[in-house]
């Protein structure tokens, strides 16, 4: 279980969180939606213990937490294969096994044998993103924190990776806390949708749902979500500027477009 208990956090420009409460259970994919700058990434950093709250507490009872950042954050001197296998070394996995597991997962993500040997500078942005996601999932985490991980990917690849993440939940019982600005992506993936207000963030909408598959169902669910007054007000608000709209991403009428370190595999 991951719990935010009356969490407060203040930066120099003001409070980001004040008395914030949220819980994520095992086997649950929770999607966070909210205006830019409202504190979604901050919540992931707190959950990963990369930041500490000013008040309240964050309780993470999961044994293996993996993080997929907005940027791939790959080690430039290692190949794609070694960047992924790296995550298994600190867990005591033997070199041959960790390379085999890394190669198998990257193969599922469309990497050729030649691609496995490439360093990050030789990979496209999409392939770098897939490498970062593979690095997170290869350790079979029980909690995955994902910060807009598919934003730079094309529609088909986004859908494939959304399915991969859903599989980690449905098959392995992992919990996922997933940040996105794409409403259609949210309704395609989520077991639970949580919409946040502008800073200091508070939950304005928290609903259990079910992942949608067909384009028509996704569009209907996204439209219904945006028809909820509190949701629409939150998603159309800029941080600190309620009069300035920020258009939420929605892709009507089509399937929506739809990681954590450790040692070298030497």
The answer to whether the beta carbons of residues 186 and 32 sit under 8 Å apart is no
Q: Which residue pairs, CB below 8 angstroms and at least 24 apart, start in 21-28?
A: 21/203, 22/194, 22/203, 24/143, 24/175, 24/177, 25/1, 25/175, 26/1, 26/62, 26/142, 26/173, 26/174, 26/175, 27/169, 27/173, 27/174, 27/175, 28/169, 28/175, 28/176, 28/191, 28/192
Tally of residues, the chain? 266
Please identify which residue in the block is written with the tokens 């991403």: 249
Give the pair of three-digit tokens for residue 114.
């030649």
Give, for all 266 residues of the chain, the pLDDT tens digit.
999 999 999 998 899 999 999 999 999 999 999 999 999 999 999 999 999 999 999 999 999 999 999 889 999 999 999 999 999 998 889 999 999 999 999 998 889 999 999 999 999 988 998 999 999 999 999 999 999 998 878 888 888 888 888 888 888 899 999 999 999 999 999 999 999 999 999 999 999 988 777 889 989 999 999 999 999 999 887 544 443 444 555 554 444 343 444 444 44
Residues 24 and 95: their CA atoms lie apart, in Å, by 34
pLDDT of residue 135: 95
Measured in degrees and rounded to the nearest 5, phi and psi for residue 255 equal: -60, 135
pLDDT of residue 212: 73
Q: How far is CA 178 from CA 55, 228, 241, in A?
A: 24, 21, 25
Give the three-state DSSP class for 47: helix
Torsion of CA 75, 263, 153, 196, to 10 degrees: -110
Q: Kindly report the pTM of this predicted structure.
A: 0.85
Residues 177 and 169: their CA atoms lie apart, in Å, by 11
* pLDDT tens-digit series, residues 5-53: 999 999 988 999 999 999 999 999 999 999 999 999 999 999 999 999 9
CA-based nearest residue to 147, from 70, 255, 257: 70
pLDDT of residue 250: 54
CATH of span 2-74+142-235: 3.40.50.300
Residues 131 and 108: their CA atoms lie apart, in Å, by 11
All residues at 6 or more sequence positions from 104 whose CB lies less than 8 Å from its CB, including other chains: none
pLDDT of residue 97: 96
pLDDT of residue 238: 58
pLDDT of residue 134: 94
How do the domains of the chain map onto residue ranges? 2-74+142-235
Residues 48 and 200: their CA atoms lie apart, in Å, by 20
pLDDT of residue 131: 95
pLDDT of residue 126: 86
């Amino acid at each position: 279980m991951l719990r935010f208990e009356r969490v407060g956090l203040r930066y120099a420009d003001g409070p980001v969180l004040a008395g914030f409460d949220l819980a994520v259970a095992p086997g649950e994919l929770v999607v966070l939606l909210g205006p830019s700058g409202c504190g979604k990434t901050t919540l992931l950093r707190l959950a990963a213990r990369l930041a500490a709250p000013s008040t309240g507490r964050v309780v993470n009872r999961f044994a293996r937490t993996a993080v997929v950042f907005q940027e791939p954050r790959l080690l430039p001197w290692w190949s794609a294969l070694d960047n992924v296998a790296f995550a298994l070394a600190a867990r005591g996995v033997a070199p041959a096994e960790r390379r085999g597991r890394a190669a198998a997962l990257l193969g599922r993500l469309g990497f050729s044998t030649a691609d496995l040997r490439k360093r990050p500078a030789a990979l496209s942005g999409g392939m770098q993103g897939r490498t970062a996601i593979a690095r997170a999932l290869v350790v079979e985490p029980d909690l995955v924190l994902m910060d807009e991980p598919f934003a730079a990917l094309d529609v088909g690849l986004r859908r494939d990776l959304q399915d991969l993440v859903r599989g980690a939940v449905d098959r392995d019982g992992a919990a996922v806390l997933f940040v996105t600005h794409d409403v259609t992506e949210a309704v395609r993936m989520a077991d639970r949708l949580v919409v946040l207000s502008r800073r200091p963030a508070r939950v304005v909408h928290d609903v259990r749902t079910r992942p949608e598959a067909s384009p028509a169902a996704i569009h209907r669910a996204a439209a219904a979500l945006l028809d909820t007054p509190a949701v629409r007000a939150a998603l159309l608000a800029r941080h600190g500027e309620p009069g300035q709209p920020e258009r939420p991403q929605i892709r009507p009428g089509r399937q929506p477009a739809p990681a954590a370190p450790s040692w070298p595999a030497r």
